[in-house]
Structure formats: structure tokens, C-alpha cells
Amino acid sequence: MTQVTDRHPDPAIGDDVVLLTVPADGGYLGVLRTATAGLAARLHFALDEIEDLRIAVDEACAMLLAIATRGAELDCRFAVTEDALTVEVTVTTVRGAKLPAESSFAWKVLTALTTSAAAEATGQRATIRLVTRRTGA
């Protein structure tokens, strides 16, 4: 099931927040890439910045899909500020799952394409957080 909550103001941080939940299946990554591009365009990101962010979100999701439980969902939280887009993707993971090391090629891609990238794996959930600030902002 795909669930979208659009422009949910988060009073704790004052951002516009978009929540999107899709099945943890590669066939749904296009939905997340499209949402990412649309929100980045709303912030007037340059075309190359939008494409970099789309690739980063795709890479982050691929990392999470590799450790997701069967039937899991990808929970995506897009926080929009005046000059940045923060994307957090979370999934339920199989027991003992580990994300790739920060020295891995996948992490090098994420850090090259975003302002910052971080990951957290606790219990049976893993989250990757990407922040991209608009150039010149």
C-alpha cells in the first residue's frame, strides 16, 4: 500500500514534512525518486542537484532493500526547509542485518551526492538520512 501525507507541518521543527510509505520492493523506487525530484524542484534546486539527490535516494533505498524483511515497507520522511531537503528512509530489517561500512562504495556515492549522509541501525530497524542544501543558499 502506498500512503502519502502531503505538507504535514511539523511544529517541532517548523518544516513542511511529506511522509510517503511504499512496499520495500525495487518496483516502487520510482515513486520515491519522483517525490524527491518534485520536492527538490519546489526548492528551486538546479537540475544537476535534483538528479544527484534522486540518485542518492535510490542508492540509500537499495542499501535498505538488501536488508529488509519480507513484506516490509519503506517509510520515507521528506522535510522541506527554505534551502534544504532532508530525506529519511527507514525499513524493518532482518535479524543481525548491517548496513554497508562508511568506507564502502555505496557510502562514497551518498556522501558525494549530498551535503551529508548518516545511518542508524537499532533493533530491527535501519534508517538512512540524507541532507542536501541548495547550492548558493
Tens of pLDDT, residue by residue over 18-62, are 999 999 999 999 999 999 999 999 899 999 999 999 999 999 999
The pTM is what? 0.86
Amino acid 61 reads: C
pLDDT at position 112, please? 94
Give the model confidence (pLDDT) of 56-114 as tens digits.
Answer: 999 999 999 999 999 999 999 999 988 899 999 999 999 888 888 888 998 999 999 99
Question: E strands, the chain, where?
Answer: 3-10, 15-23, 73-80, 84-92, 116-122, 125-133
State the DSSP H helix or E strand holding residue 34, giving kind and residue range, or none if neither.
helix 29-42
